[in-house]
Amino acid sequence: MLWHIKVCAMSWHSTANQSMRDFLPGRFENYIKAHKADIASYSKHLPHRVFPWAEKYHPGICEAIQTILQKLKYNVNYNMLSSQVIYFNYFIARPHIYEDYVKTLLIPVIDLMETDPQVRTLVESDSEYPHPMPEELAEQIGFNYWPMHPFICERLINLYLLKNNNKFKLIQW
């Protein structure tokens, strides 16, 4: 079994991506093994500055991530160029890498989003996502707009990779 992975979570709109319509777990596993990857993303993007690019679509996201990184003392420049970009949490990683990412960045960010009043205000602001919030979801989360939370969290793995100086072999499907 691939890296002893038991669960793979994917976005509801993953089949909108051509590479995902062609996705077959066995082919993906063979591709990872052939490339001896530590992390594999099943979406492709050209290199770019992840958060500054997002600022065009989600005004205020750079202020939010800068505040989060400062408060956590997570020493990485969010403005750096990411040579291989991961979005939508479309990736798998070796267990020790994923556990370290979750422990050192994802959980601390989520905790800060919930507990720090300044950060909470920033991440609960309207992300200006151009699609309407489904009514049922709006009732569950208490917002009638898309807040910044998911758009920050889906980009965090890129900061983890930058901080780790790209020491992992990352491939894109």
Q: pLDDT at position 3, please?
A: 45
Q: Which residue has the higher pLDDT, 49 or 8?
A: 49
9 located within any domain? no
* pLDDT tens column, 40-94: 988 888 999 999 999 999 999 999 999 999 999 999 999 998 888 998 888 999 9
This prediction has a pTM of 0.85
Tell me if 65 is assigned to some domain.
yes
Is residue 6 situated within a structural domain? no
Instruction: Kindly state whether residue 37 falls inside one of the protein's structural domains.
Output: yes
> How many CB atoms neighbour CB 8 within 10 A?
12
Is 1 inside a domain boundary? no
Instruction: Tell me what pLDDT residue 5 has.
Output: 45
Please give the Cα distance from 162 to 80 (Å, whole number).
8
Domain annotation covers residue 10? no
In a domain, 3, yes or no: no
pLDDT tens for 17-37 read 555 566 678 888 898 899 999
Q: What is the mean pLDDT of residues 108-134?
A: 97
The answer to whether residue 35 is domain-embedded is yes
Q: Quote the CA–CA distance of 106 and 133 in Å, as a whole number.
A: 24
Q: What residues make up the domain containing 140?
A: 15-172
List pLDDT tens digits, range 87-105: 888 899 999 999 999 999 9
CA separation, residue 84 to residues 11, 26, 98, 143, 166 (Å) = 20, 23, 17, 33, 9
In eight-state DSSP terms, residue 108 is H
* Structural domains counted in the chain: 1
β-pair partners for 147 = 126
